[in-house]
């Protein structure tokens, strides 16, 4: 744990894809900081996640490839101060359209659906939206064109919404996450060859822990970042600065 203490007492936080990885680490961090935290996942009920401790968190099923599901969830939200658009999925070439829907379109659709509610936030510095970008926002991948295109779009969407919604008491930022071992990246993280390739290219010499993404997210949502909007913070252990 770091020495930084955040206070989000009584604020309402939504973390999409909050049942594992970066999302779960972020949700737990906000919960520890006093927030009321709602997470989303693809399973019908929280009880179906018997393999993970979701204690203290509220849960809603949300299918990001279904516009009706997004609209229904947004209508159920009565108050929100912070929205973390974390949910995403790596998909093969054949699923280009769905990859863009889940990783980009849904980010906009949910943010837009909650825009009015976010604008009412009393959070110092304004309500905060954090989008999760990726190293693939900047580097091409021959294997995941839909995911890469979507994550590049997330960076631009972050800038656009920051400009569009600044006068509505809403800040919009993103983090470009480096390599983190999660259920989504397990194919690579659990492969000794690819795990070493990433570690060797990263100046800090290792993959990140999910918590190392959660704390920069919390900073960007805090009053300490009240003059930051439209920014994508690269959190990658130096990966992107090496040729």
Give the total residue count for the chain.
243
Question: Left (φ > 0), alpha (ψ -120 to 50) or beta: where does 125 sit?
Answer: left
> Are 213 and 22 contacting, i.e. CB atoms less than 8 angstroms apart?
yes
Separation in Å, CA 212 to CA 101, 168, 177, 179: 27, 30, 9, 11
In the chain, % helix, strand, coil (3-state, to 5) comes to 45, 15, 40
Distance CA 5, CA 57 (A): 20
Neighbours of 138 (CB within 10 A): 17
Which helix (H) or strand (E) covers residue 152, if one does? helix 145-165
Which DSSP symbol is given to 166? Answer: G
- Set 147, 188, 227, 239: catalytic member: 147
The verdict on whether 188 is a catalytic residue reads no
Closest alpha carbon to 62 in 52, 53, 72, 54? 72
> Are 37 and 57 contacting, i.e. CB atoms less than 8 angstroms apart?
yes
Neighbours of 43 (CB within 10 A): 11
Distance CA 188, CA 90 (A): 12
Q: Active-site residues: which are they?
A: 147
């Amino acid at each position: 744990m770091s020495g930084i203490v955040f206070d989000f007492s009584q604020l309402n936080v939504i973390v999409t894809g909050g049942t594992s990885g970066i999302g779960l680490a972020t949700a737990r961090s906000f919960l520890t900081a006093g927030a009321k935290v709602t997470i989303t996942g693809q399973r019908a009920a929280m009880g179906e996640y018997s393999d993970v401790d979701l204690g203290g968190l509220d849960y809603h099923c949300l299918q990001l490839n279904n516009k009706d599901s997004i609209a229904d969830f947004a209508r159920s939200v009565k108050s929100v101060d912070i929205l973390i658009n974390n949910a995403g999925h790596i998909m093969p070439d054949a699923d280009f359209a769905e990859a863009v829907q889940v990783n980009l379109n849904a980010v906009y659709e949910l943010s837009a659906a909650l825009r009015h509610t976010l604008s009412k936030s009393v959070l110092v510095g304004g309500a905060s939206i954090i989008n999760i970008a990726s190293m693939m926002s900047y580097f091409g991948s021959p294997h995941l064109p839909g995911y890469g295109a979507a994550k590049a779009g997330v960076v631009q969407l972050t800038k656009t919404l920051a400009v569009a919604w600044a006068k509505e008491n809403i800040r919009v930022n993103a983090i470009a996450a480096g390599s983190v071992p999660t259920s989504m990246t397990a194919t690579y993280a659990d492969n000794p060859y690819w795990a070493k390739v990433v570690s060797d290219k990263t100046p800090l010499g290792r993959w990140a822990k999910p918590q190392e993404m959660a704390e920069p997210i919390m900073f960007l949502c805090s009053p300490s970042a009240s003059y930051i909007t439209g920014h994508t913070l690269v959190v990658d252990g130096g990966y992107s600065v090496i040729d």
